[in-house]
Structure formats: C-alpha cells, structure tokens
Amino acid sequence: MFFLGVGAAVIGAAARNIGLSPFQIGFLIAVQNIGFMLSVIISGALADNYEKPRLLFIGSLMLAISFFTFYVWSPFVLNLAIMFFIGIGIGSYEGVTDAMLLDIHHARESLFININHFFVTLGALMITLYLVFLQMNWRRSMIQSAAAVALLAVFFAFTRLENEKREMQRLSHRLGFLRRQKIVWLLFFATVCTVGFEMGSVGILTTYLMELRNFNQVTSKLGLIIFLSGMGTGRIFIGFFTKKEQISRNIVLLLGFSALFGSFMYFINAGKLLYIIIYCTGITISSLLPLIITLAGLTYKDMSGTVLGIIKIAIGIGGILIPFLLSMISKYTNLGTALALFPAIMGISFLLLLLNKKIFNTSEL
C-alpha cells in the first residue's frame, strides 16, 4: 500500500520536473483513475474465488514494469497508456489487500485496515518529500520504486494463504444481491465524499493557503505536510482505539467532525493557528475510508472482495468528481465560494448516515 501512495502522488510530485502542463496532469490523473476503478472491481471480485497472493503478484509485476517505463520515452500518448497500467497496478493493491487482511485477522480488523491505509499516506508523503524538498532525480526514484515492487512480486509469487479458497455464487448473483443493499449505497456515497474531500484538499490546500491566507511557498507546503501528518496519526490511533462494535458510530462522528473542522480550515483566518486546525482536520478525515472499508467487509464477509471492489470504485469517482466540481464552481464564482463544497458534502454524508444508523448492526459483526 506504500507504493499505492507513491503511484497516486507521483504526478503531483514530479509534474514540474517532467515539464507537464496542467492539461496533461489532469489527463494523466483521469486515465490513472479509470485504470484504478476497473482494477479495483475486477481484482476485488476475483479475490473471492482465487488466491489473493497470486492476484497481488500480477498487480505488482504490472506496477513494477509501469514504474520503470514511465516517461522513459517522451510521447504523451504512450505515457497515458503506462499511467493506465499504473492505475491497474495500484488498483489491485486496493482491491485485494483489505479483503486479505479480513481473511487473516479475526479480531481488531479496523486497526489492521487503518494501518494498511496509513502506508498509503506514508507513500504519498515520502514521494513528495523525496522529490520536492530533497530535489532528487525523479527518474531515479521511479527506478528504485520499480525495483522494490518487483521484489514484492517475487514475495507474492511464493506466498500462500491457508484455507483461502471457498465456493462462491456467480459474480452476477453477488452484484445483484449487493445492489439491493441500502447500506452498500450509503457507504458508497460516504466514500465518494470522503475521498473527494481528502484528495481535493491535498490538491488545493497550498493554493488556498497562498491565495486566501497569505502563506508563502514554504509555509503553504508545510501546511500540506501537516495535513498528511494528521491523516497518518489519525489512521494509527483511531484504528487502535476503535472496537468492532464502535465502527458505525465512529464513522458518523468522524463525518460530523470532518464537516466542522473542514469549515474551520477553509473559512477561519486563524493565522499560524491554522496549522493546528489543518492537523485536526487531517485527523478527522484520516480513518473514515479504512473504517468504511472495514464495516463493508465485515457486514458481507462471505463476499468481502466483491463488496470492497464496489465500495472502492467510489475512490476513483470521488477523486475525479469532487475536484471537477470544485474547479467548475471556482471558475464561475471564486475559490472561497468553491471551498464550501468540502464541508457541505461531509455534512450531507453525516446526516444521511446518522438518519440511517440503525441499519449498521456492528454489534452483531
């Protein structure tokens, strides 16, 4: 999952080194998300019937080759195709690893899934530090990442899980059943909003701090690092203290606090105290995705790969839709008005899950 974070953040971190235009950056990210969404649903569904280490071996091999070849050659169309396969590679990690953790661990599942997603944040943070602050050669970092992922592929090639295989209904039956489950749709919507808030904030935070709060290049980047650090901290500590029967309650609470602190972060001019608000906002958003994933997987444990594949399609949708809406609103109004989108979507998710909280029977998981 560390390399999922690297793959997701590498464009933002290396764009200036490569010499990409805003149009090219947006196109690459969109194509990556298309590959990610396809891979998540396919690998998640296959994980219910096939050996998960084998699926991770294929994903790792694909990701290693893609990392190694990314911008070795200059044609943009060729690198669009490579970025699509990067999306497929990281999507296989997202689609399989959480389902595999639910097979391995039968207690404190939320802690292990939170730790798993902590490494996504760590990967994004490390590649940013590696490229932006240390000014290392970006191609060298991609080659090193490719070598590490290739070693992972070798590890997964020789890994087996005991008692992993089980008889499953046909995929069409599983999808038909899950499509009728209200809880799946609620968690799907909450995931779209959570990822949109998270990825949108990562993308716009430095611009917001410089344009509306008079931060400079260095202090605005420090704000982004503090936000990512808050996310990393929250994923460890909230996961550690969340018991199985508390998962649904904590999801609702974190949605509410995300709306509240998101409002503080984007609409209160607190000077340097804004760093504290940014850190707290990072904490409140940190564990939402891992807890949603845990709740979905535990609720439908016999088809965890399929249900997690469905939920994780929302990651790609949220990563595309919410930033797109933000850009459209800011184009026709202004940045300050557009930023109201973030606390608004979190507030709507909070109300929807609060009003339907009785359907989340986590005490019976």
Alpha carbon distances (Å) from 62 to 66, 79, 92, 226, 356: 6, 14, 10, 33, 41
Looking at residue 258, its pLDDT comes to 97
pLDDT value of position 361: 63
Q: What is the pLDDT of residue 10?
A: 65
Angle subtended at Cα 209 by Cα 203 and Cα 213, rounded to the nearest 5 degrees = 155
pTM: 0.78
Give Cβ neighbours of residue 168 (< 8 Å, ≥ 6 apart): 48, 49, 174, 302, 303
Q: Are 291 and 254 in contact (CB under 8 A)?
A: yes
Position 273 scores a pLDDT of 93
User: pLDDT tens string for the chain (365 positions)?
Assistant: 777 777 666 665 565 567 766 567 667 877 888 888 888 888 887 877 778 888 889 999 998 999 899 888 888 899 889 989 988 988 888 888 877 887 777 777 777 787 877 887 777 777 767 665 655 566 777 888 888 889 989 988 888 776 555 545 566 677 778 888 899 999 999 999 999 898 888 878 888 898 899 988 778 878 888 998 898 888 888 888 888 888 999 999 999 999 999 999 999 988 889 999 999 999 999 889 989 988 988 888 878 778 888 888 888 888 888 888 887 888 888 988 999 999 999 999 999 999 987 666 654 44
Give the integer Cα–Cα distance in Å for 11 and 20. 9
Residue range 108-124, pLDDT digits in tens: 777 778 787 788 777 77
Question: From the CA atom positions of the chain, what is the Rg in Å?
Answer: 20
Burial-class residue 170 by CB neighbours within 10 Å (0-12, 13-18, 19+): exposed
* pLDDT of the residue at 335: 86
* Alpha-carbon span 152 to 1, nearest angstrom: 11
- Residue 363's pLDDT is 47
Task: Give the span between the Cα atoms of 138 and 130, in whole angstroms.
Answer: 9
- Residue 13: per-residue pLDDT: 56
Residues 6+ apart with CB under 8 A from 16: none
pLDDT attached to residue 113 = 83
Gap between the Cα atoms of 176 and 165, Å rounded: 22
Domains present along the chain, CATH in parentheses:
1-158 (1.20.1250.20), 171-359 (1.20.1250.20)
HSE-CB of 62 using CA atoms within 13 angstroms? 23
